Amino acid sequence: MNLWKVAWRSIQHRSLASVLTAFSMSLGVALVVTVLVIYAVIDNAFQRSTQGYNLIVGPKGSKTDLVLSTAFYINSSDLETIPYGLYRDIYRKFPGEIDKAIPVALGEPYKGAPVVATKRDFFEELRYGDKKPYVFRYGENFAGSDYRGAVLGYNAARRLKLKVGEKISLLDGAENSENADDVFTVRGILRFSGTPNDQAVFINLEGFYEMNESRRNLIDRIRKGEKEDTPTEEQRTLSAILVLTKKKEVMPEIKMNASGDQPSELVVSESGMTSQVYNPSLEALPRLIEEDKEYHIQAVSPTAVVTTLFDKVIGNIRLVLVILACLVIVVAGIGMMVSIYNTMNERRHEIAIMRALGAKRRTVMMVILFESILLSLAGGVVGFVLGHSLIGILSPWISESLRVPVSAFQLQGIEVLLIPGLTLLASIVGYLPAVMAYRTDVAESL
């Protein structure tokens, strides 16, 4: 006798109650899947986006706001600015500490896509993920002298439906003007990187300044009725400077700073060996920058800020959501137990017939347990599909709000634990009805 088949026939016989029971289980599973996947994807994307440089130098204020604005382009319009002269002086002010400095100026979004003005070094010097270089899917990087050149992130190009060679106007009504100051030509489209840069439009920094200066002159001429002089370099500002520190020194022991933190990084060599790397710049340089009297600035480690944000804020939110989702699953499991238990009085005659035909008490008990497990696993499968479908529905909103790409097909290894977890829960909640079936008196029931 195939007990699984018998259990399945029993479920089919009570199809409406079985569907409702499995569906309640699927809602909890869908919520768990959604929380785990979205958290893991966002965490991975945030970590990938902060590994290309060691420090962000920007205006004094909230460290978190500076990182979110500069690295993830969230609320970038609220960010204060720093003088362009700092980029010119930063190598002189901190000799021996800085390997490379890359300026960044954030403009007004173009049709929902963040606009980032920078130099071509952004794509040549920075890395993402496991030190992967930025690669162009189509076209190439804009040249330093190509003031009207633009580079599009992978998702930005798809959403805006733009190709290499096409022109974009960052202000209104100038697409058809070859000489318009706000018209840029797409020189290249980046390959997908899984970072917020996929959502952005990058333009040459000099062209960005020319566009803004031309716009300011036009406004001034309209207001004052006279021609304004071209603004000097001292009037130009930046949103931030991305800093790569000098080559790190490998230390045999882990060194700690005064606060107990480690100004160090784990680095994997080409041979695959992992070593602890001490970087004195990560400890000393931010202090030196913030003590500078000429500029009112700060230096922030983006990795440290993101780690703190996830550990203290987002991690706690995820924990609460997972606990609530697990409670939903437990409540659904209790509901399944009650549903099966309430049918036991109706099934006494059925169980008695099985016993009369030679089925043992243990066999009857196993049928009830198998029925509980099948209902639980069916709800789990539906919940898995429902959860990933929900992720697919929410993905445009998440990508737009957090600049993080999310796909319905992004699976996490931890989801595999749902199968044994649901099996264990089903065994627990099905035990009471199974014991009740085990104790069924054949003579009385017949």
Phi-psi region of 369 (alpha: psi -120 to 50; beta: other; left: phi over 0): alpha
What does the pLDDT read at residue 264? 44
| Dihedral sign computed on CA atoms, order 192, 198, 203, 204 | negative
Alpha-helical segments (H) within 50-119? 63-72, 84-93
Per the prediction, the chain carries an average pLDDT of: 78
Assess whether 215 and 323 both reside in one domain: no
Across the range 167-180, mean pLDDT stands at: 64
355, 327 Cβ separation under 8 angstroms: no
66, 56 Cβ separation under 8 angstroms: yes
What does the pLDDT read at residue 238? 94
Q: Parallel, antiparallel, or unpaired: how do β-strands 249-250 and 237-238 relate? A: unpaired
- Greater confidence (440 vs 188) lies with 188
Across the range 326-341, mean pLDDT stands at: 82
Model confidence at 331: pLDDT above 90: no
Domain count, the chain: 2
- Which of 357, 356, 362, 319 is CA-nearest to residue 445? 356
What does the pLDDT read at residue 191? 93
Phi-psi region of 260 (alpha: psi -120 to 50; beta: other; left: phi over 0): left
Whole-angstrom distance, CA of residue 392 vs CA of residue 371: 32
Q: Extract the tokens encoding 407.
A: 């796909």
Q: Extract the tokens encoding 7.
A: 């259990």
The residue written with tokens 């733009």 in the block is 162
Which residue spans within 213-294 are E strands per DSSP?
237-238, 240-245, 249-250, 264-268, 274-278
91-95, 108-112, 305-309, 313-317 — which one is most confidently predicted on average?
Answer: 108-112
Assess whether 21 and 134 both reside in one domain: no
Span of 22-26, 233-237, 303-307 with lowest mean pLDDT: 233-237
73-77, 108-112, 200-204 — which one is most confidently predicted on average?
Answer: 200-204
Assess whether 160 and 207 both reside in one domain: yes
Q: Which pairs from 435-441 meet CB under 8 Å and 24+ separation? A: 435/365, 436/341, 436/344, 437/344, 437/347, 437/351, 437/364, 437/365, 437/367, 437/368, 438/361, 438/362, 438/364, 438/365, 439/361, 440/348, 440/351, 440/352, 440/355, 440/364, 441/352
- Greater confidence (213 vs 186) lies with 186
Assess whether 91 and 177 both reside in one domain: yes
Domain range spanning residue 188?
A: 55-300
Assess whether 26 and 61 both reside in one domain: no
Whole-angstrom distance, CA of residue 120 vs CA of residue 137: 16
Assess whether 260 and 328 both reside in one domain: no
What does the pLDDT read at residue 361? 74
Model confidence at 33: pLDDT above 50: yes
Across the range 172-178, mean pLDDT stands at: 48
Whole-angstrom distance, CA of residue 212 vs CA of residue 201: 16
| Distance set, CA 158 to CA 200, 391, 409, 425, 426 (Å) | 11, 20, 19, 45, 45
Assess whether 18 and 85 both reside in one domain: no
Q: What are 226-283's pLDDT values in tens digits?
A: 544 555 666 789 999 999 887 554 333 333 343 444 444 444 444 443 334 445 455 6
Q: Parallel, antiparallel, or unpaired: how do β-strands 183-190 and 98-110 relate? A: unpaired
| Distance set, CA 333 to CA 27, 33, 340, 416 (Å) | 12, 17, 11, 19
What does the pLDDT read at residue 103? 95
201, 114 Cβ separation under 8 angstroms: yes
What does the pLDDT read at residue 71? 87
Q: Is the residue at 373 inside a domain?
A: yes
Assess whether 213 and 239 both reside in one domain: yes
Whole-angstrom distance, CA of residue 418 vs CA of residue 425: 10
Q: Is the residue at 50 inside a domain?
A: no
357, 35 Cβ separation under 8 angstroms: no
What does the pLDDT read at residue 74? 83
Model confidence at 129: pLDDT above 50: yes
Q: What are 208-221's pLDDT values in tens digits?
A: 998 877 666 555 55
Span of 10-14, 343-347, 378-382, 423-427 with lowest mean pLDDT: 343-347
Burial 109-125, CB ≥16 within 10 A → b, else e: bbeebbbbbbbbbbbeb
Model confidence at 179: pLDDT above 80: no
Across the range 290-296, mean pLDDT stands at: 80
Q: Is the residue at 49 inside a domain?
A: no
Q: Is the residue at 412 inside a domain?
A: yes
Band of pLDDT at residue 5, cut at 50, 70 and 90: confident
What does the pLDDT read at residue 95? 78
What does the pLDDT read at residue 1? 55
Please enumerate in sequence order all residues whose Cβ is within 8 A of that of 126, keeping only pairs 6 or more positions apart, or say none.
52, 53, 102, 134, 242, 244
What does the pLDDT read at residue 290? 78
Percent helix, strand, coil in the chain, to 5, is: 55, 15, 30
Band of pLDDT at residue 76, cut at 50, 70 and 90: low
What does the pLDDT read at residue 437? 65
> Where does a domain end: 268, 300, 332?
300
Assess whether 22 and 78 both reside in one domain: no
Across the range 54-74, mean pLDDT stands at: 89
Model confidence at 141: pLDDT above 90: yes
What does the pLDDT read at residue 166? 94
Band of pLDDT at residue 358, cut at 50, 70 and 90: low
Q: Is the residue at 431 inside a domain?
A: yes
Model confidence at 147: pLDDT above 80: yes
47, 265 Cβ separation under 8 angstroms: no
Model confidence at 50: pLDDT above 70: no
Assess whether 282 and 317 both reside in one domain: no
DSSP code string of 118-187: E-THHHHH-EETTTEEP-EEEE-PPPTT-TTEEEE-HHHHHHHT--TT-EEESSSS-TT-TT-TTEEEEE
Assess whether 29 and 108 both reside in one domain: no
Q: Is the residue at 340 inside a domain?
A: yes
> Where does a domain end: 269, 300, 331?
300
Percent of the chain with pLDDT over 90: 20
Band of pLDDT at residue 56, cut at 50, 70 and 90: very high
Assess whether 178 and 268 both reside in one domain: yes
What does the pLDDT read at residue 266? 44
**Burial category of 195 from C-beta neighbours within 10 Å (exposed 0-12, middle 13-18, buried 19 and up):** buried
Model confidence at 176: pLDDT above 60: no
- Which of 204, 171, 199, 170 is CA-nearest to residue 187? 204
> Where does a domain end: 240, 267, 300?
300
What does the pLDDT read at residue 117? 95
Q: What are 392-428's pLDDT values in tens digits?
A: 888 877 776 666 677 777 777 778 888 888 888 888 8
Whole-angstrom distance, CA of residue 421 vs CA of residue 36: 15
